[in-house]
Chain A
Amino acid sequence: MILIGERINGLFRDVGRAIAERNPEPIHALAIAQARAGAHFLDVNTGPAVDDPEKVMGWLVRTAQEVVDTAISIDTMNVKALEAGLAAHRGRALINSTTGERAKLDTILPLAKEYGAQVIGLAMNEKGVPKDANDRTAIAMEIVAAADEYGIGPQDLFIDPLILPVAVAQEHAPEVLETLRQVRLLADPPPSTLVGLSNVSQKSKNRSLVNRTFLSMAMACGLDAAILDVTDQDLMDVVATANILLNREVYCDSYLEVARRAHAG
């Protein structure tokens, strides 16, 4: 499982304040904590309420990478902010994200090529988020084909089937799980699959439980990556246990301690 830490996001109050004050310390602390907890990427999002997203994104990427070597998932719909993040980034970034809209693909994919970045493609288009798995997969196929036109292979592509809050749009969860299965058949090798996990529990009670349950279901359907709270120990224990149950790792009595130790840096 590729784990993408979600915490450096302006929507969180501590990060929002750090951005407003241009205080690097909270960003440093979150970057270190998430890298230690096992994050392979750190998602960085300025939040909606900043005046100058370009500058803020560049600052966040630079600030996070001052203390860790972890690659950044540059999370923005603003193309200028994305470019600023890519320019500031050391190593191989992950672009979060493009949709299946042609205009969007024709803007984002050349940037990915130019900067050698990997890309997340959201299974939605100008009509919004599809209701069922087949339509999601059809958009995923368009994204795979468009990426190929720009010389970006499926190994550098993550398809996000878009999980919606179960408290609001309950009917989407089974469709997302089915999409995860279908996307694996799209190409050989197939693109990776990814979910923004915490979205599933927005506005629900028992958020951590909802996250954990959905993650294990998604892993059983072949999920490759997730944007999640890597500092949630219970959630990380689910990842370790699912790896055992999916026969990806050999069971032993201390498997959990080993997984936790590996993540303790």
Chain B
Amino acid sequence: MELLREKWTGKVREVTIGATHEHGGTRARSVTVGGETGLPFLHFEGETPNRPSIALEVWDIAPEEWPEVLREPYADVLSDPAAWARKCAGEYGADLVMLRLASCDPDRGNTGAAEAQAVVRSVLSAVDVPLIIIGCGDPDRDNEVMPAVGEAAAGENCLMGIAKQENYKSLVATCVVNGHNIIAQSPLDINIAKQLNILITEMGLAPDKIIIDPMSGALGYGIEYCYSIMERVRLGSLQGDKMLAMPVITFVGQEAWRAKEAREPDDAVPEWGPQRARGVAWELMTATTLLQAGADILVVRHPEAAKALREHIDELVTSGEGVA
């Protein structure tokens, strides 16, 4: 049977995160994502020059709301972000570490720029993988903290977040000045995704320094709609829309561990089975679905989900071998 092949003219931009010594940073290696010339894993139509990357999430304050089954693999390091990061990059083999500066939240630790800088410095010296750093989500606090964080990590070519259409300028400025990449988030809206990329580039950050966060839900929580938005981002890239041709990040763990199916304890709904296996499975199924939709960076939480996801990606990236 002859395969009908689609011929695309465009490609997803490549974005490199992390700077090694020869590029002015202190990372042992950098991570490059994007560069696809076809739909996800259709090896007969296009290339996937860079395999999707896995980031594990580290908080700068013990995450009280994480269920016990998720806290358990990090039990000894939950109050030490540097040790936590070391565990993710070492024992659990993360391609990237994502540091969430949750303690800055006025309703949580209410810490400020100085504390955030100290945490970032300690994590940078604890691990040599590239870093993703995101704020607490409070716009005013993030605008105060993130510029200081960007400066503390200057030259490390981190991925910083999260820029939104209503609040992007100070984060873009710090990325431009300190040489970082940016996460541009849009609320499941392809038009805003494109618009925000344009606004960011108008401030002088190069298009190949932008990663799109189209926002995603967990399995069972509107993931089909996320899938269709991500598919349109990829199709836009392949059709030559340069202001959509950025790689995509998805916060898988954040969404999956919010789902009832991952949070309910063992005895809540007995026929659902034990929470540990269930939660990991929920995170993994969410991740593999978003992978098929075109995710380039998947931020996960449970190390077992990360491990299984890595094996799954191994199979996907080699599945084209032997197919002409």
Contact = CB atoms under 8 A, between A and B. Distances in A.
A250 B198 contact: no
A249 interface: yes
A252 B236 contact: no
A254 B192 CA distance: 10
B192 A252 contact: yes
B241 A253 contact: no
B232 A258 contact: no
Contact of B236 (A250, A257, A258): A250
A251 interface: yes
Given A250-B232, A250-B241, A252-B243, A258 B191 contact: no
A137 B281 CA distance: 60
A251 B236 CA distance: 11
A79 B185 CA distance: 58
Interface string B187-202: 0001110110011000
Contact of B191 (A248, A251, A257): A251
A102 to B, nearest CB: 34
A249 B241 contact: yes
B190 A258 contact: no
Contacts of B244: 250
What does DSSP make chain A's interface, helix, strand, loop or mixed? loop
A258 B194 CA distance: 11
Contacts of B195: 252-254
Interface in B239-253: 239, 241, 243-244
A186 B104 CA distance: 65
A146 to B, nearest CB: 27
Interface string A7-37: 0000000000000000000000000000000
Nearest to A249: B241
A250 B194 CA distance: 8
A254 B241 contact: no
Contact of A254 (B190, B198, B232, B239): B198
A250 B199 contact: no
Interface residues of B, number: 13
Interface in A236-258: 248-254, 257-258
A127 B232 CA distance: 49
A252 B199 CA distance: 11
A60 to B, nearest CB: 31
A248 B241 CA distance: 9
Contact of A257 (B190, B192, B198, B239): B198
Contacts of A253: 191, 195
A247 to B, nearest CB: 10
Contacts of A248: 239
Nearest to A251: B191
Residue from A248, A252, A257, A258 whose CB has the most chain B CB atoms within 10 Å: A252
A254 B202 CA distance: 11
Residue from A249, A250, A254 whose CB has the most chain B CB atoms within 10 Å: A250
Interface in A156-174: none
B243 to A, nearest CB: 6
Contacts of A250: 190-191, 194, 232, 236, 241, 244
B191 A254 contact: no
Contacts of B236: 249-250
A254 B241 CA distance: 13
B221 to A, nearest CB: 25
A248 to B, nearest CB: 8
A252 B236 CA distance: 13
Nearest to A253: B195
A254 B191 CA distance: 10
A87 to B, nearest CB: 31
A257 B198 CA distance: 9
Nearest to A254: B198
Nearest to B196: A252
Interface string A103-136: 0000000000000000000000000000000000
B163 to A, nearest CB: 15
Nearest to B233: A250
Interface string B173-195: 00000000000000000111011
B242 to A, nearest CB: 8
Contacts of A249: 236, 239, 241
A252 B198 contact: yes
A249 B194 CA distance: 11
A241 to B, nearest CB: 15
Interface string B211-255: 000000000000000000000100010010101100000000000
Given A249-B236, A249-B241, A250-B244, 14 more contacts: A248-B239, A249-B239, A250-B190, A250-B232, A250-B241, A251-B191, A251-B194, A252-B192, A252-B195, A252-B198, A252-B243, A254-B199, A257-B198, A258-B198
9 contacts: A249-B241, A250-B194, A250-B236, A251-B191, A251-B194, A252-B191, A252-B192, A252-B194, A258-B243
